[in-house]
Amino acid sequence: MSLLLEACALSHVYADGSIGLDGCSLAVRPGSRNALLGSNGSGKTTLLQHFNALLRPTGGAVRFSGQPLDYGRSGLNALRRQVGLVFQNPDRQLFSASVTEDVSFGPLNLGLDEAAVRTRVAEALAAVGMSELADKPVHHLSFGQKKRVCIAGVLAMQPDVLLLDEPMAGLDAAMQVELQSLLDALAARGITIVLSTHDVDFAYRWADDIHLLAAGCCLASFAAADLTQHAGALAAAGQPLPAMAQLHRALATRGLLDEDGDSPPRSLDALLARLNT
């Protein structure tokens, strides 16, 4: 199968000499949901910023659709239409007075006419459930609403790939559920999603593919369904087994459910469905 985004022995040394990435290699399949899973400082943000060319490698390469990134002006414009990044902190991304202005910025820069921009903005705001707040000043929004406006701003560019840096961080439980269903809806539309997280439980229940990052390196990439086969790499990356996998193991040990060789359930409902009753 063809690969959409690849980090090939990617290294990045920051101006102060800090090592952001250190020979990181991983690949993202088109249409897949990917979690970059790693503890603080493992290189997640640095990697995401390479994927849309905000940062350039000091070693190795990033490839998109099989081609090395073109860092010339037209190459960057083309890339940023196709690969959108949502920052961890919305205040670093939002800069216009109103929600509509902010979400319009990207499409206006594409040179689209006013009607086309209006349509894109309306669609993007509807996708994130923010249509009602279109005229609100950005600085009056809650953190979760700002986050959604940031996502709308990227969606208005109609990207093939959506990159999100720690999208769940700082959201309350209800907003996390909402954001997860938004991500599910976008994935169902065929958008490839790559997000960073330090939450193994979230990565396990949400992702198709998990890429384990530690010290600027990708220790392992695997299907989330196969996670328990990678306990060693998880431990090396400082990650516990997901609670659902631990619970499954404990119940199986006590004979309360069959260890039938399948991978452990990834949701509570799936686990309950397997209980011996």
Rounded to 5°, the CA angle 195-209-178 comes to: 45
CB contact at 8 A, 4 and 64: yes
Binder of ligand ADP out of 23, 31, 41, 144 (CB under 6 A): 41
DSSP, residue by residue, 62-103: EEETTEE---SHHHHHHHHHHEEEE-SSGGGT--SSBHHHHH
44/248 with CB nearer ligand ADP? 44
Q: What is the CA radius of gyration of the chain?
A: 20
- E strands, the chain, are 5-13, 19-28, 33-37, 59-64, 67-68, 83-86, 161-164, 192-197, 209-214, 217-223
Dist CA 121 CA 108 (whole Å): 10
Interaction of residue 42 with Mg ion, rule CB under 5 A: no
Binder of Mg ion out of 45, 49, 197, 239 (CB under 5 A): 45
Could you say which of Mg ion, ligand ADP, none residue 14 binds, taking C-beta under 5 to 8 angstroms by partner kind?
Answer: ligand ADP
Interaction of residue 90 with ligand ADP, rule CB under 6 A: no
Interaction of residue 43 with ligand ADP, rule CB under 6 A: yes
Smallest separation, CB 33 to ligand ADP (Å): 19
117/168 with CB nearer ligand ADP? 168
Binder of ligand ADP out of 26, 27, 37, 45 (CB under 6 A): 45
Stretch that binds ligand ADP, among 15-23, 94-102, 104-112, 265-273 (CB under 6 A): 15-23
102/166 with CB nearer ligand ADP? 166
Binder of ligand ADP out of 11, 34, 46, 52 (CB under 6 A): 46
Distance of CA 193 to the CA centre of its chain: 5
Could you say which of ligand ADP, Mg ion, none residue 18 binds, taking C-beta under 5 to 8 angstroms by partner kind?
Answer: ligand ADP
- The partner residues of 217 in beta bridges, in order of sequence, read 214
Distances in whole angstroms, Cα of residue 192 to Cα of each of 182, 263, 272: 13, 24, 30
Interaction of residue 34 with Mg ion, rule CB under 5 A: no
Smallest separation, CB 71 to ligand ADP (Å): 19
The 10 Å Cβ neighbour count of residue 103 is: 30
Where along the sequence are the contacts to Mg ion (CB under 5 A)?
A: 44-45
Where along the sequence are the contacts to ligand ADP (CB under 6 A)?
A: 14, 16, 18, 20, 38, 40-46
